Structure 1
Amino acid sequence: MAPDQLTSIKDQIGNLIKIVHDQEQDNTELLAEVCFPYLGSAKNLLHYGTVRNYDLREIQTKLKELGLSRLANAEGNILESLINTHNLLKFLTNENGEFVQNGELEIGKGKRKLEEHAEALFSNGGKNRRVRIMVTMPTEASTDYEMVLEMVKNGMDCARINCAHDSPEVWKKIVENLRKASEACNANVKIAMDLAGPKIRTGALGEGPKVKKFRPKRNDEGVVESPAAIVLVPEDKQSRGPDEIPVPSQWIELVQLGDKFVVQDARGKTRKLVVTQVAENTVLLQCRKTIYLKTGMQLVSKRVSLPNAVLGEISPKEKAIEVHVGDTLIVKGHDSIGSLPKFDEKGNLVNPGSIACQPPSLVEKVKEGAPILFDDGKVEGVIERVHDDSFEVRIVKARQGGTQLKAEKGINFPTLDLGFSGLTAKDKEDLKFIARYVDIVSFSFVNTESDVEELLEALNDLEVLDKIGVILKIETRFAYKNLMKILLKAMKTKPIGVMIARGDLALEVGWENMGKVQEEILSICSAAHVPVVWATQVLEGLAKKGLPSRSEITDVTSSLRAECVMLNKGLYINEAISLLDKTLESMEELHSKKEGLWPKMDNL
């Protein structure tokens, strides 16, 4: 490389070092708020943020050509890495003068700090792997101790309880089983609880018809292999299965094996039924044709001595609005029951479907032209008109043939800051339980540093600040844009971590940007020496269906850039924990942190 090129690279890095020092001086007051164990990390995060204001890819390429470090893995010690590189370039250009030393965060110390912070948040547990395993607890964990014990034995390091589900009574039983299992296995399993956070969801659509469909099993040629099975139970039975139909208790005692009935089903079709099994408080009927049973329908007995019976209350079907590309959907701001679209005799739309939104006040914050997503992105739309108490959405994405939009489905506004963040009234109440019983609080839908300040104040009021860990869930576009400020504010306490909540985050930033955003969050957290939880749909197929996909296995390999991997609950969760434990342990022999190139950071 020509001497003038070497000098140019040296001068550029030297100038960058000066800018980094100046920026640190400009943020003296901010650094004064950081607790001492995070002071070096906070400074390094500021240094990294300053460096990422510039496009370094050309410099990195030239450093690689010289056989020098291209700074690709230098997030944890950014200033010291720049100074070392600058010293080497001075040597190569025969510049006189002593080598400069930073003396605060030498090479390698950033990695050790990250390990210390991960240890403080999650503990280690004596495992032969660096990456921890977090597992979401199902409701059954409150009553099934053996299942919880198996989780701990298979390698669970941290248990997650979601405050959006169950109750404090159930949570307490889960905590007790976890503590008991942890002690039995001589393990230090940490317990984290997710605050539910603000919920932006679709409102009620009302009850559908109280009808239940039963159909026989047919082979490929349409021949009935087994009749439709209908179970009748006493109407005073406390809890019923999904396929059980209530009838009067006195009547069910009179039914005999072989009794036959005729029914006019919900469509007016005549159907024949026969009793094939009678047990205590249970009667099994069979029908060789598809039948729709409805509340209030009469079973007409063929036996004279057996009176007819009237079917009791059948659970109503859940209503849904079927939306197609090009449809208009009215979203209401007042808490009312939604309505299905209405069509004339020729199939022309007369009135579009409508659905309420929760909370209703978000109608005041939406803007025309903004995108809107429903039900984890299954339905996409654009806000076309905003009225005083509603807005109109034009559907731009739905499944071919239509998508069913139901109540209680999530709504996302990727480009709008709706101001719904911070602690809800429920969160503040749940914090009292968290402060008393668990080790970590996970903060959902954090968007700004003021949200973090609110949480820290609440923890301080409960006298658990610095006694309980904090995980910041990054699941919105604004959380990503404000991540550095959020981390610096969170460093007022310890220990802290970050969860990359990939499900909601992908909707917010766009699928095409998710890979880049994920990498940037990992790099920012590495610069802050803050451990990361890799979350959402890890080994989802295995946990729920018993068989992982190939992409799930490669996703686990990618998760080695994090310090913890989260599994969601499922019927085969223990198989998922065991496989993840073995995979992480074997892959850590081949992988450490991953190198990257640094263009100027894009905040989307």
Structure 2
Amino acid sequence: MASLADTAPAPDALIEEVEALRARLVRAERDQSARLDRVAERHRASARNLVHYVALRAEDLRPLQDALSAVGLSSLGRMEAGVLGHLDAVLTALHALAGHAPRPGDPVPSPAEEAAPLTPAAGRDVLEERAEQLLGPVRPERDTRIMVTLPSEAADDPDLVRRLAAAGMDLARVNCAHDDEAAWERMIAHVRADAAEGRPAPRVAMDLAGPKLRTGPLEPGPRVRKVKPGRDVDGRVLVSSRVWLGAADAPEAEDAVVVPLAPGAEDVLGRLAPGEQAMLTDARDSDRVLTVRAATGAGVLLTCEKTVYWATGTEVDTPHGTLTAGELPTTARAMRVHGGEQIVLTRSMEPQPAVTEPPYVIGCSLPQAFRDVSPGDRVLIDDGKITGRVDANDGERITLTVIGAGPSGAKLKAEKGVNFPDTYLDLPALTEEDRSRLPFAAAHADVVNMSFVRSAEDVAQLIDALEAEDAQDVEISLKIETVEAFERLPAMLLEAMRWDGVGVMIARGDLAVEAGFERMAELQEEILWLCEAAHVPAIWATQVLESLAKDGLPSRAEITDAAMAQRAEAAMLNKGPYIVEAVEALSDILERMAGHADKKRDMLRRLRSWSL
């Protein structure tokens, strides 16, 4: 049987291979000297390391990894934060293994090095420092911060903000696509007021909306509210339906469907008693018997064993007179589409009728699409629930055939995202609306998140706009939402390093739609590697514990996904009725995962994603 000495590669051969690899990385640095010269001085070493890493990953290093492992040395799996320093440590060990004298300096000195190259440990220290600058301090019990998208009600509910911070929120995200400056100012004031003993107030990040790529409106549906009882699988009623006919802010409205009550009902309400019965004919002309469970001056709580379709003006006959339902909101309509059917996107954003057979016509909010989209391009609607391929574009109408909508079809709704993964859309990432928001963001935010960024030129636009606002103390974060942004990320990071504080948000929802869900795991991992090489904090975003935040119960897959978030410097939660519970759960998961982050060994095949 052959011994290890017979099968392991000779140290001298490995020295030659590693030194040649190091020389290629240094040449890459020289080639990028013009870009590196534009980087802020504090980021210069990080930018060089980024260039080294991109050059390193342009090669398939798996044979070298195996060869180094065979002689008991590092397999290069955790070198992102300090590429040259790590290679130098490997070379030192190889020379010792070969019995050579200590190495007299680097075989090929880096053109910009005045001291020894960064080691991975030193690079990780730099990353931690940058993360604290951008995202604030970590909590003692975990290594990953939690960012939370504030709902609109946070503007008038300081207690909600307090509960979020107590649950574990480290950063509050304000989305400029919703609400207005007055509401944002109130939200931010609540956040700034929420410092606690041993914990600073959460930092504030503001999202610039970027270009709006959404479906247009549909004509509203009727003002009807369907209320049904809870039934078992055999159809037997387990829980009666509960309707509070009255003011929405009454305590009795909790745990009931609220239907507004028309004015002038005080006399009837004052005479109603629990146990009395009432009658109505609902919007579908069905007669229903209801039972009074409680009555106050603000309204009446009614239960029913059958489904009731309430409408504006529905009359409820009681033993003491008639109550009338007030103005109900319109119902949102949708069109169910199937594979092979036609959808027509129109430049006009006028509300369209919700039809039941093709062609299904709906507006598209982005005028540039009608200039840039070509036949054969794919169009993805509502996070990819509907996929179409363009048949024609006459400049006013884009006709497409549905090629994916699930076996039962999918609902085409208003105000849903539209993606054009095969189309280069010639439009700026920084819209006029974004520019109008920048003065407010510069005055109130700690971080500005740039949406739909796709190039170094887009990053330069944001930096120039912030400089014009004299907002050098505001950090920036680049939202990676498209395949274009992913492929150009190294160049975008080098441009962003002109600025003082820089981060990256991995917007996994849009990115998964554009790249395909099959590639998503690979892309998010590669972005994390690249950010570590650049010493740029990463924010793990989109659909983190989404089922828990929206419905109160997480899926098993969400728990595993949330645990992966500890690989980033921050994880972002979106709003939902159970957002406080979601923050508590994520904080608990991250605490349990603290310390496990380094239990991996990456295999370094060649990456074709990036070049400089």
The TM-score bracket by the shorter chain reads 0.7 to 0.9
Counterpart contact for 1:234–1:249, Cα < 8 Å: no
In 2: Cα distance, 1:294 partner to 1:575 partner? 34
User: What is aligned with 1:538?
Assistant: 544
* Aligned-partner residue type, residue 539 of structure 2: V
Aligned AA for 2:424? D
Residue 215 (structure 2) aligned to one of 202, 206, 222:
202
Worse-matched range after superposition: 11-20 or 196-205:
11-20
2:415 counterpart letter in structure 1: E
**Structure 2 residue identity aligned to 1:560:** Q
Counterpart of 2:66 in structure 1 is 61
Contact 2:221–2:331, Cα closer than 8 Å, also in 1: yes
The answer to which of 49-58 and 556-565 deviates more is 556-565
- TM-score (normalised: structure 1): 0.87
Matching residue of 1:105: 117
Comparing 78-87 with 44-53, which one deviates more in the overlay? 78-87
- Give the corresponding residue for 1:22: 27
Structure 1 residue 67, shift from structure 2 partner: 1.4
Question: Residue 339 of structure 1 is aligned with which of 353, 356, 359?
Answer: 353
Matched, 1:76 2:89: no
Whether the 8 Å contact between 1:543 and 1:573 is mirrored in structure 2 is yes
Give the Cα–Cα distance (whole angstroms) in 2 for the partners of residues 36 and 91 of structure 1.
36
SS at match of 1:15: helix
Whole-angstrom distance in 1 between the partners of 2:8 and 2:198 = 63
* Number of aligned positions between the proteins: 589
Shift of 1:565: 1.9
Q: Which residue of 2 aligns with 1:589?
A: 595
Per-residue CA shift, 1:250-295, capped at 9, x if unaligned? 46645764575563x4444455667676532535566554343444
Other-structure match for 2:489: 483
The two structures have a TM-score, normalised by structure 2, of 0.86
Question: How big is the shift at 1:121?
Answer: 1.4
Match of residue 112 from structure 2: none
1:430 corresponds in structure 2 to 437
Q: How does 1:120-269 map to 2 (within 5 A)?
A: 120-124=133-137, 127-182=140-195, 186-224=199-237, 228-229=241-242, 231-233=244-246, 243-245=257-259, 249-250=263-264, 253=267, 257=272, 261=279, 263=281, 265-269=282-286
Match of 1:371 in 2: 378
CA distance in 2, matches of 1:234, 1:501: 40
Cα deviations by residue, 1:110-150 (Å, 9 ceiling, x for unpaired): 12211221122123256243322222223333333333333
Amino acid at match of 2:135: F
Aligned amino acid, residue 166 of structure 2? K
Report the residue type matching 2:117 in the other structure: L
1:598 corresponds to which of 600, 604, 609: 604
Asked if structure 2 preserves the Cα contact closer than 8 Å seen for 1:233 and 1:252, the reply is: no
CA offsets 1:152-205 (integer angstroms, 9 cap, x no match):
334332222222222222222222222221155542532211112212000011
2:406 to 395, 399, 402: 399
Cα deviation, residue 221, structure 1 = 4.5
* 8 Å contact kept, 2:219–2:354: no
- Find the residue that maps to 1:75 and give its secondary structure: coil
Distance 1:516 1:234 in 2: 51
Q: Cα–Cα, structure 1 residues 94 and 592, in superposed 2: closer, same or farther, change >3 Å?
A: closer
Residues in 2 aligned to 1:517 and 1:310: alpha-carbon distance in whole angstroms:
56
Please list every run of 5 or more consecutive structure 1 residues that lacks an aligned counterpart in the other structure. Answer: 343-348
**Partner residue of 1:279?**
296
Shift of 1:541: 3.6
User: In structure 2, what is the equivalent of residue 44 of structure 1?
Assistant: 49
Give the conservation status (yes or no) of the 8 Å contact 1:234–1:246.
yes
**Counterpart among 309, 313, 333 of residue 292 in structure 1:** 309
Q: Retained in 1: the 8 A contact 2:191–2:201?
A: no
Please tell me the residue identity of whatever aligns with 1:164: A
Q: What is the CA deviation profile of residues 25-80 of structure 1, one whole-angstrom value per residue up to 9, with x for unaligned ones?
A: 22222111111110001111111111222211111111111212221111222123
* Aligned-partner residue type, residue 26 of structure 2: H
Distance 1:309 1:151, change over 3 A: closer
* Kept in 2: contact 1:123–1:188 (CA 8 A): no
Task: Report if the CA contact (8 A) 2:8-2:67 is conserved.
Answer: no
Which residue number in structure 1 is paired with residue 360 of structure 2? Answer: 353
**1:557 and 2:570 matched:** no
The AA in structure 2 aligned to 1:533 is I
Q: In percent, how many aligned pairs have the same letter?
A: 36
Distance in 2, matches of 1:516 and 1:270, equals 58
How far does residue 578 in structure 1 lie from its aligned partner after superposition?
3.6
Change over 3 Å in CA distance of 1:139–1:224 after alignment to 2: same
Once the two structures are TM-superposed, the CA of residue 357 in structure 1 deviates from its matched residue by 0.6
- Matched with 2:453 is 446
Q: Is this contact kept in 2: 1:321–1:340, CA < 8 A? A: yes
Q: For 1:117 and 1:156, how far apart are their aligned partners in 2? A: 19
Do the aligned residues in 2 keep the contact of 1:333 with 1:361 (CA within 8 Å)?
Answer: no
In 2 relative to 1, CA 386–430 (structure 1 residues): closer, same or farther, beyond 3 Å? Answer: same
Contact 1:441 1:469 in 2 (8 A): yes
Partner letter of residue 105 of structure 1? P
Counterpart CA distance in 1 for 2:302 and 2:565 is: 52
1:316 and 2:340 equivalent? no
- Residue 230 of structure 1 and its aligned partner are, at CA, apart by 5.1
**Contact kept in structure 2, 1:330 and 1:390, CA below 8 Å:** yes
Which shifted more, 94-103 or 506-515? Answer: 94-103
Q: For 1:301 and 1:4, how far apart are their aligned partners in 2?
A: 92
Letter matched to residue 51 of structure 1: L
User: Is the CA contact 1:561–1:594 (under 8 Å) kept in the aligned structure 2?
Assistant: no
Q: Which residue of 2 aligns with 1:346?
A: none
Q: Which residue among 368, 379, 387 is the counterpart of 1:380?
A: 387
Aligned residue type for 1:47: H
Change (3 A) 1:516 1:99: farther
Post-superposition CA distance 1:468-515 (Å, at most 9, x none): 111111111111000000000000011111111111111111111111
Say which is worse superposed, 45-54 or 580-589, in terms of deviation: 580-589
Q: Tell me by how many angstroms 1:455 deviates.
A: 0.5
Task: Name the residue aligned to 2:418.
Answer: 411
What is aligned with 2:3?
none
Q: CA deviation at 1:334?
A: 2.3
Q: Secondary structure at the match of 1:201?
A: coil
Distance 1:48 1:461 in 2: 33
Equivalent AA in structure 2 for residue 290 of structure 1:
T
Taking a change above 3 Å as real, the CA distance of residues 583 and 369 of structure 1, as seen in their structure-2 partners, is same
Which range is displaced more, 28-37 or 78-87?
Answer: 78-87
Paired amino acid for 1:524: L
Post-superposition offset of 1:596? 1.0
Q: Match of 2:128?
A: 115
Q: Which amino acid aligns with 1:138?
A: P
CA distance in 2, matches of 1:356, 1:224: 42
Superposition deviation, residue 410 in structure 1: 0.6
CA contact (8 A) 1:253 1:281 kept: no
Query: Residue 536 of structure 1: CA displacement?
Result: 1.9
Assess if the C-alpha contact under 8 Å between 2:149 and 2:573 holds in 1: yes
Aligned to 1:182, the other structure's residue is in SS state coil
Tell me what 2:17 maps to.
Answer: 12
